[in-house]
Amino acid sequence: GNSVTQMEGPVTLSEEAFLTINCTYTATGYPSLFWYVQYPGEGLQLLLKATKADDKGSNKGFEATYRKETTSFHLEKGSVQVSDSAVYFCALENKAAGNKLTFGGGTRVLVKP
Amino acid sequence: KAGVTQTPRYLIKTRGQQVTLSCSPISGHRSVSWYQQTPGQGLQFLFEYFSETQRNKGNFPGRFSGRQFSNSRSEMNVSTLELGDSALYLCASRLTGETGELFFGEGSRLTVL
C-alpha cells in the first residue's frame, strides 16, 4: 500500500536558518507528491506539489524535488522566518488508490526570532 | 470567493451519542473529502463524495458515515461515539474527482467525554 514517512519534530530554528524536512514514500505506480502546511488554528493549505519524477515544486521560498530513484520529496527553504512556524505534512496521491491523500505524520517547525 | 466552511467548529459529546458535522465546499467544487486528524494517528482518510456518490472509503468502522447533497454540501455522521473518536475532522473540496488541489476547511473539533 501507500505510505509516507517524514522526520519527526519539533524542529526549532533561528530566523534566517536553512530548513530541511525529509520525506520518503512507498507507493505503487506513479503518485503525485505534495507538501501541505497547517498554521495554528487553521486547516491545511497546499504549499507545493510535483506530479512526476524530477519535477520541482516551489512556493513562498520553499522547494521540493520529486526523486523517484530515492522515493523522496524533501522540503527545503533557504532562510526561514518566524511566520514559517507551522506543521508541515508530506503527502502522496495515487490514482491506483482512488485519488485519496496519504499523509505523513507531520513535522512541527518553530522559528525563533 | 468563500473557502470551505465547516460547522460546528467545536463540539463536546458524551460516549454513546451521535454527531453530525457539516461541510460547505467552495462554490463550483463537486468533490468533498473528509479526514480525521488525531495526535496519535495523524491524518487519516475517511471518505470522498463526488456528485452525491461515495467514490472512496477509508478504513473506519461503519459508525462513520457520510453523504453529499445535490448542492455538493456534505455531512458526516458518527454514531455511538467512543472516546477515541475525539479528533479534528477536516473537510476538503476540489473541482472534480480527479487529481487536483484539495482546499481544506478549518475543521470541526470533536471532544468525546
- Taking contacts as CB-CB distances below 8 angstroms, the residues of chain B near A99 are 48, 55-56, 97-99
CA dihedral A80, A3, B95, B11 (to 10 degrees): -80
Alpha carbons B57 and B34: distance in angstroms, whole number: 10
Residue B110 pLDDT exceeds 70 = yes
For the stretch A60-103, pLDDT in tens is: 999 999 999 999 999 999 999 999 999 999 999 987 777 788 99
Alpha carbons B76 and A87: distance in angstroms, whole number: 26
A55 near A72, Cβ under 8 Å? no
Q: How confident is the model at residue A23 (pLDDT cuts 50, 70, 90)?
A: very high
Nearest to residue B87, comparing CAs of B49, B56, B41?
B41
Res B1: pLDDT: 61
Q: Which of A46, A89, A100 sits opposite B56 (nearest CB)?
A: A100
For the stretch B38-64, pLDDT in tens is: 988 899 999 999 999 998 899 999 999
Res B111: pLDDT: 98
- Taking contacts as CB-CB distances below 8 angstroms, the residues of chain A near B101 are 46, 49
- CB contact (8 A) between residue B45 and residue A101: yes
Cell 470567493 belongs to B1
Alpha carbons A50 and A70: distance in angstroms, whole number: 15
Q: Which of B44, B55, B90 sits opposite A43 (nearest CB)?
A: B90
- Taking contacts as CB-CB distances below 8 angstroms, the residues of chain A near B7 are none
The answer to whether residue A31 neighbours chain B at the CB level (below 8 Å) is no
Cis status of the peptide bond prior to B39, with omega within 30 of 0: no
